[in-house]
Structure formats: C-alpha cells, structure tokens
Structure 1
C-alpha cells in the first residue's frame, strides 16, 4: 500500500513539475543557419513565438527588417524560412507557444513578440532603469534576464 501511494505521489509530482516547466518553455532554435544569421544582430527567437504566416511575412521583408536591411542570399532565406515556418507556434504549439498563439487573430501576422498580451503582462513592471541595470538595454534582449532563453527556457532566473 505504501509503495502504491509513493508511486502515485511521484507521478503527481512529475506531472505537476512538467506542467509548470512546459508553461515556461518553447523548443529552442536548432537550425545552424537561423542561429548564425538571426543571431548576428539579436537572439535567434524561437519560431514558436509567432505563427508561420508571420515568419513568411518577416522573411519577405528582410530588406526592411525593423529599419535595417537584413537581406540574405535566396538559398539562405529559403532555408531559414522553411525552418521557421515548420516550427512556428501554430504548427507546433508546445509549451509557452500555446499561450502566445491564443492571442493571434485568425489570419493575423504579428511581427513583434512584444505585442503579445502575455509578453506585456509578464514584463509590465520592467522599467527602462531596470533594463539598464540588468544590461539588457532592450526588452527583447531575453538572455539578459532569462539565462536559459537560448535553450527555450523563460522561467524567472
């Protein structure tokens, strides 16, 4: 009897732990081209944070990527697009991606992670002074506050 109770308690603890962790995790970027090209200027954001149509739009407008020309050779663009869209939040809604995808309007193609209501709620107390003290300087410098961000972990470190 004791063994059965301990086994049940273990399963509940494992399930509760994985449910908690799942809420703070998205699959990490594993594609070398995406890591290299996107990561030269900013963290290579996990594809799960946006739907595939957002990544398509972003890859179509690299010549004006948030005010910068991030154009790439056609074959590199195609490879990165294929990776991003295959792993997008509406294609593989795992972990944190589920809550991020819930706010996307049908047919919408958001371009900024910072427009997500979950993102805004989680970061509502982050001031410019706190960003400066942390060394982040920008709200999208995720690794400054979330040391596991490159591995897809966004728990509060």
Structure 2
C-alpha cells in the first residue's frame, strides 16, 4: 500500500511538472497576452551601449534598413553624440540586422512588417504604422505628461518593457 501511494505521488508530480512545462511560454512567446512579446535576446554591446541612455529597443521593432539608418547616424543620434568605435558599431548593427523585423525571427517583427511598405525605413519606432495602430487609443496629451515624457519611453506604460513584454494586460499609464 505504501509503494502504491508513493507511485501515485510520483505520477502526480511528474504529471504536474509536465503540464507546467508544456503550458509555459517558450522561446519568443513570453508574457504574450496578445502576441506582443519579443524574443529573449542577449547581446552584451547592444545592452551596454544602447541601454546606457534608454531601453535597448528590440531589433524586431524596425526593419534592417531602419537600423542601418540609426547606426549610421550615431554622431547625431536624436540630438546626442552616441558615437561608438567602428568595431562595436559594426557588431551591434550586425546583431540588429539579424534580429530585425524583416529578418523573420519573431512574431512581433512579422506584425511590424505587415503594416510597413517594403521601401519604408522609419528612423523612429514611434513612426512605424504598427506602433501608431497599437497606440491609436492613447491621447496625444498622454505622451507629453511629465511621467511619460514621450512615446519613445516604452517603460513608462509597459512596466515589463525591458524584459520584452508589451502585452495589453501589463500596461499601466501613469497619471
């Protein structure tokens, strides 16, 4: 009888673990709520250099041509000199291109590209048709609130932005 109870306990534990393992999001889909989760990416130079001033924007938010424009203009990067040594700049650009919206590596990147003409290369994520559509219900005045700052400050409303989670369920617009 004791062995039978242990056996049932082991089966229950294995079943529970299996159920959890197969129901948890994997790979790109974490915190997904509506398909707006990003691949978990790590790249030391990208995280170190880009996140020193703002969140390290996910490569899937823009196509390769846009990232080339951004990285090609680091000397005058939205009013700042964000110049890098050529090797670091090339390394980050390579990473951005491999993971860009049009690289086909992520669901959110494919969504971004569905709303973009092939020749489009917006310099700002906030100028993409995908971004505009996703934020069409946000009043213009919200972006200028001191607690938000601008549409580029993802983390103001998307509390898990730095972890790549942008689903509607985790949005909290500050007053």
With the shorter chain as reference, the TM-score category is 0.7 to 0.9
Q: 1:121 to 1:109 in 2, by over 3 A?
A: closer
**Native 8 Å contact 1:104 1:110 kept in 2:** no
Matched, 1:137 2:160: no
Equivalence map 1:109-124=2 (5 Å): 109-124=121-136
Alpha-carbon distance, 1:106 to partner: 1.8
Alpha-carbon distance, 1:93 to partner: 4.2
- CA separation in 2, counterparts of 1:26 and 1:71? 27
- CA separation in 1, counterparts of 2:48 and 2:104? 22
Q: 1:94 to 1:21 in 2, by over 3 A?
A: farther
Gaps of 5+ in 1: 1-9
Gaps of 5+ in 2: 1-18, 24-28, 171-175
**Native 8 Å contact 2:35 2:107 kept in 1:** yes
- CA separation in 2, counterparts of 1:27 and 1:79? 19
Higher relative contact order structure (alpha carbons within 8 Å, sequence separation ≥ 6): 1
Matched, 1:86 2:98: yes
Would you identify which runs of 4 or more consecutive aligned residues in structure 1 move more than 3 Å?
127-131
TM-score after normalising by structure 1: 0.78
Task: Indicate which of 72, 75, 84 corresponds to 2:84.
Answer: 72
Instruction: Please identify the structure whose Cα radius of gyration is greater.
Output: 2
Q: What are the superposed Cα offsets for residues 11-44 of structure 1, whole Å, 9 maximum, x if unpaired?
A: xxx6xxx7x6462112244111111111111111
Q: 1:21 to 1:68 in 2, by over 3 A?
A: same
**Native 8 Å contact 1:29 1:150 kept in 2:** no
Residues matched between the structures, number: 142
CA RMSD of aligned residues (A): 2.5
Matched, 1:125 2:123: no
TM-score after normalising by structure 2: 0.71
